[in-house]
Amino acid sequence: DTEVTQTPKHLVMGMTNKKSLKCEQHMGHRAMYWYKQKAKKPPELMFVYSYEKLSINESVPSRFSPECPNSSLLNLHLHALQPEDSALYLCASRPQGQPGNTIYFGEGSWLTVV
Amino acid sequence: GQQLNQSPQSMFIQEGEDVSMNCTSSSIFNTWLWYKQDPGEGPVLLIALYKAGELTSNGRLTAQFGITRKDSFLNISASIPSDVGIYFCAGILAGKSTFGDGTTLTVKP
Protein backbone atom coordinates (compact mmCIF):
# COMPACT_ATOMS: atom_id res chain seq x y z
CA ASP A 1 0.00 0.00 0.00
CA THR A 2 1.55 3.26 -1.14
CA GLU A 3 -1.43 5.50 -0.60
CA VAL A 4 -1.42 9.12 0.39
CA THR A 5 -4.95 10.47 0.82
CA GLN A 6 -5.79 14.14 0.43
CA THR A 7 -9.01 15.98 1.22
CA PRO A 8 -10.80 17.85 -0.11
CA LYS A 9 -10.26 17.11 -3.78
CA HIS A 10 -11.53 20.57 -4.72
CA LEU A 11 -11.76 23.74 -2.65
CA VAL A 12 -13.01 27.19 -3.58
CA MET A 13 -12.38 29.91 -1.04
CA GLY A 14 -12.62 33.66 -0.79
CA MET A 15 -9.67 35.83 0.08
CA THR A 16 -10.96 36.37 3.62
CA ASN A 17 -11.75 32.71 4.34
CA LYS A 18 -9.88 30.29 6.56
CA LYS A 19 -9.73 26.73 5.32
CA SER A 20 -7.51 23.68 5.67
CA LEU A 21 -6.17 20.96 3.41
CA LYS A 22 -5.67 17.54 4.95
CA CYS A 23 -3.33 14.69 4.16
CA GLU A 24 -3.08 11.20 5.62
CA GLN A 25 -0.78 8.23 5.12
CA HIS A 26 -0.56 4.95 6.99
CA MET A 27 2.67 3.63 5.51
CA GLY A 28 4.74 4.55 8.57
CA HIS A 29 6.59 7.21 6.59
CA ARG A 30 8.21 9.76 8.86
CA ALA A 31 8.78 12.48 6.26
CA MET A 32 5.83 14.38 4.81
CA TYR A 33 5.74 17.16 2.26
CA TRP A 34 3.56 19.91 0.86
CA TYR A 35 4.07 20.97 -2.74
CA LYS A 36 2.35 23.58 -4.87
CA GLN A 37 1.89 22.91 -8.58
CA LYS A 38 0.74 25.24 -11.31
CA ALA A 39 -0.55 23.92 -14.62
CA LYS A 40 2.10 22.17 -16.73
CA LYS A 41 4.82 23.07 -14.23
CA PRO A 42 6.74 20.79 -11.89
CA PRO A 43 5.76 20.56 -8.23
CA GLU A 44 7.36 23.27 -6.09
CA LEU A 45 8.40 22.27 -2.60
CA MET A 46 6.75 24.27 0.19
CA PHE A 47 7.34 22.42 3.46
CA VAL A 48 8.97 19.25 4.73
CA TYR A 49 8.20 17.58 8.05
CA SER A 50 10.58 15.00 9.43
CA TYR A 51 9.49 13.03 12.49
CA GLU A 52 6.62 15.48 12.98
CA LYS A 53 8.95 18.48 13.09
CA LEU A 54 9.19 21.15 10.42
CA SER A 55 12.57 20.68 8.77
CA ILE A 56 12.26 22.73 5.57
CA ASN A 57 10.24 25.85 4.84
CA GLU A 58 10.96 27.10 1.34
CA SER A 59 10.27 30.74 2.23
CA VAL A 60 6.53 30.20 1.96
CA PRO A 61 4.31 33.19 2.86
CA SER A 62 2.78 33.02 6.33
CA ARG A 63 -0.73 32.83 4.91
CA PHE A 64 0.14 29.13 4.49
CA SER A 65 0.57 27.42 7.85
CA PRO A 66 1.49 23.72 8.01
CA GLU A 67 0.75 21.45 10.92
CA CYS A 68 1.73 17.85 11.63
CA PRO A 69 -0.47 16.57 14.49
CA ASN A 70 1.01 13.06 14.37
CA SER A 71 3.07 10.78 12.18
CA SER A 72 0.14 9.98 9.88
CA LEU A 73 -1.44 13.39 9.39
CA LEU A 74 -0.37 16.61 7.74
CA ASN A 75 -2.49 19.73 7.44
CA LEU A 76 -2.08 22.96 5.53
CA HIS A 77 -4.01 25.85 7.01
CA LEU A 78 -4.95 28.60 4.60
CA HIS A 79 -5.83 32.18 5.51
CA ALA A 80 -6.09 35.41 3.54
CA LEU A 81 -4.97 33.81 0.31
CA GLN A 82 -4.58 35.61 -3.00
CA PRO A 83 -5.96 34.56 -6.39
CA GLU A 84 -2.42 33.69 -7.52
CA ASP A 85 -2.36 31.01 -4.82
CA SER A 86 -4.84 29.01 -6.89
CA ALA A 87 -3.07 25.77 -7.78
CA LEU A 88 -2.93 22.03 -7.19
CA TYR A 89 -1.57 21.35 -3.71
CA LEU A 90 0.15 18.01 -3.40
CA CYS A 91 0.95 16.12 -0.25
CA ALA A 92 3.65 13.49 -0.31
CA SER A 93 5.42 11.15 2.06
CA ARG A 94 8.75 9.35 2.15
CA PRO A 95 10.18 6.55 4.25
CA GLN A 96 13.34 7.49 6.08
CA GLY A 97 16.66 5.89 5.34
CA GLN A 98 18.19 4.24 2.30
CA PRO A 99 16.97 2.89 0.00
CA GLY A 100 13.77 4.57 1.07
CA ASN A 101 14.33 7.86 -0.73
CA THR A 102 11.10 7.42 -2.67
CA ILE A 103 8.48 10.13 -2.54
CA TYR A 104 4.85 9.07 -2.90
CA PHE A 105 2.28 11.68 -3.86
CA GLY A 106 -1.39 12.01 -3.12
CA GLU A 107 -3.85 12.95 -5.82
CA GLY A 108 -3.79 16.58 -4.80
CA SER A 109 -6.26 19.22 -3.72
CA TRP A 110 -7.34 21.73 -6.33
CA LEU A 111 -7.55 25.14 -4.71
CA THR A 112 -9.28 28.10 -6.32
CA VAL A 113 -9.10 31.48 -4.58
CA VAL A 114 -11.77 33.94 -5.67
CA GLY B 1 20.16 25.88 -5.73
CA GLN B 2 20.09 22.60 -7.57
CA GLN B 3 18.54 22.54 -11.04
CA LEU B 4 17.53 19.73 -13.34
CA ASN B 5 17.49 20.05 -17.11
CA GLN B 6 14.88 17.71 -18.53
CA SER B 7 14.62 17.11 -22.25
CA PRO B 8 12.90 17.07 -24.53
CA GLN B 9 10.23 19.49 -23.38
CA SER B 10 7.62 17.74 -25.53
CA MET B 11 7.35 14.80 -27.89
CA PHE B 12 4.80 13.85 -30.53
CA ILE B 13 5.10 10.22 -31.59
CA GLN B 14 3.17 7.49 -33.36
CA GLU B 15 1.76 4.60 -31.40
CA GLY B 16 4.29 1.79 -31.31
CA GLU B 17 7.35 4.02 -31.35
CA ASP B 18 9.96 4.05 -28.61
CA VAL B 19 10.50 7.15 -26.47
CA SER B 20 13.56 8.42 -24.66
CA MET B 21 13.85 11.34 -22.27
CA ASN B 22 16.56 12.40 -19.87
CA CYS B 23 17.50 14.67 -17.01
CA THR B 24 20.88 16.19 -16.29
CA SER B 25 22.19 18.24 -13.43
CA SER B 26 25.34 19.99 -12.33
CA SER B 27 24.80 18.47 -8.87
CA ILE B 28 24.79 14.88 -7.70
CA PHE B 29 21.79 13.09 -6.28
CA ASN B 30 21.38 10.00 -4.12
CA THR B 31 18.13 8.96 -5.75
CA TRP B 32 16.48 9.51 -9.10
CA LEU B 33 12.72 9.17 -9.44
CA TRP B 34 10.55 9.17 -12.54
CA TYR B 35 6.88 10.14 -12.37
CA LYS B 36 3.95 10.32 -14.79
CA GLN B 37 1.22 12.84 -14.22
CA ASP B 38 -2.18 12.83 -15.89
CA PRO B 39 -4.31 15.99 -16.01
CA GLY B 40 -5.97 16.69 -12.67
CA GLU B 41 -4.08 13.95 -10.84
CA GLY B 42 -1.03 13.76 -8.63
CA PRO B 43 2.28 12.40 -9.97
CA VAL B 44 2.45 8.61 -9.98
CA LEU B 45 5.80 7.00 -9.32
CA LEU B 46 7.04 4.91 -12.25
CA ILE B 47 10.59 3.96 -11.34
CA ALA B 48 12.95 4.68 -8.44
CA LEU B 49 16.72 4.43 -8.81
CA TYR B 50 18.99 4.30 -5.77
CA LYS B 51 22.50 3.48 -6.98
CA ALA B 52 24.81 4.97 -9.61
CA GLY B 53 24.74 2.79 -12.71
CA GLU B 54 21.50 1.08 -11.71
CA LEU B 55 19.28 0.03 -14.61
CA THR B 56 15.69 -0.77 -13.68
CA SER B 57 12.68 -1.86 -15.72
CA ASN B 58 8.97 -1.65 -15.04
CA GLY B 59 7.08 -3.27 -17.88
CA ARG B 60 7.76 -1.25 -21.03
CA LEU B 61 9.66 1.37 -19.02
CA THR B 62 13.40 1.31 -18.41
CA ALA B 63 15.37 3.89 -16.47
CA GLN B 64 19.01 4.29 -15.53
CA PHE B 65 20.87 6.17 -12.82
CA GLY B 66 23.90 7.73 -14.43
CA ILE B 67 27.37 6.72 -13.28
CA THR B 68 28.26 10.31 -12.40
CA ARG B 69 25.05 10.56 -10.29
CA LYS B 70 24.23 13.72 -12.23
CA ASP B 71 21.89 12.29 -14.83
CA SER B 72 19.17 9.75 -15.55
CA PHE B 73 17.18 8.62 -18.55
CA LEU B 74 13.78 7.01 -19.05
CA ASN B 75 12.88 4.91 -22.06
CA ILE B 76 9.40 3.78 -23.02
CA SER B 77 9.17 1.00 -25.58
CA ALA B 78 6.28 0.36 -27.98
CA SER B 79 4.25 3.38 -26.87
CA ILE B 80 0.49 3.15 -26.53
CA PRO B 81 -2.14 5.92 -26.34
CA SER B 82 -2.42 5.70 -22.54
CA ASP B 83 1.26 6.70 -22.25
CA VAL B 84 0.10 10.27 -22.93
CA GLY B 85 0.91 12.60 -20.06
CA ILE B 86 3.66 14.65 -18.48
CA TYR B 87 6.74 12.80 -17.27
CA PHE B 88 8.83 14.34 -14.50
CA CYS B 89 12.23 13.34 -13.24
CA ALA B 90 13.19 14.16 -9.67
CA GLY B 91 16.53 14.03 -7.92
CA ILE B 92 16.68 13.51 -4.18
CA LEU B 93 19.53 14.60 -1.91
CA ALA B 94 19.37 14.91 1.86
CA GLY B 95 15.61 14.42 1.76
CA LYS B 96 15.10 17.38 -0.53
CA SER B 97 13.62 16.94 -3.99
CA THR B 98 14.41 18.80 -7.19
CA PHE B 99 12.12 18.31 -10.18
CA GLY B 100 12.74 18.66 -13.88
CA ASP B 101 10.34 20.82 -15.89
CA GLY B 102 8.67 17.77 -17.41
CA THR B 103 8.35 16.11 -20.80
CA THR B 104 4.89 16.23 -22.34
CA LEU B 105 4.24 13.11 -24.38
CA THR B 106 1.58 12.91 -27.08
CA VAL B 107 0.94 9.57 -28.76
CA LYS B 108 -0.95 9.50 -32.04
CA PRO B 109 -2.92 6.30 -32.69
Q: Using one digit for the tens of pLDDT, what is the confidence trace for A12-71? A: 999 999 999 999 999 999 999 999 999 989 999 999 999 999 998 999 999 999 999 999
Minimum distance, in Å, between the CA of residue B39 and any CA atom of chain A:
9
pLDDT tens by residue, B29-43: 999 999 999 988 999
With beta carbons under 8 A apart, name residues in chain B contacting A54: none
Cα–Cα distance, B72 to B74 (Å, whole number): 7
pLDDT band at B1 (very low <50, low <70, confident <90, very high): low
Asked whether the predicted pLDDT for residue A99 surpasses 70, the reply is no
Cα–Cα distance, A53 to B73 (Å, whole number): 34
Closest among A17, A16, A19, A12 to A75, alpha carbons compared: A19
Interchain pair A43, B43: CB under 8 A = yes
Cα–Cα distance, B89 to B48 (Å, whole number): 10
Q: Which of A102, A104, A112 to mutate to test the interface with B (most CBs of B within 10 A)?
A: A102
**Closest Cα in chain B to A2:** B45
Asked whether the predicted pLDDT for residue B95 surpasses 90, the reply is no
Cα–Cα distance, A45 to A66 (Å, whole number): 13
> In three state form, how does the secondary structure of chain A look?
CCCEEEECCEEEECCCCEEEEEEEECCCCCEEEEEEECCCCCCEEEEEEECCEEEEECCCCCCEEEEEEECCEEEEEEECCCHHHCEEEEEEEECCCCCCCCCEECCCEEEEEC
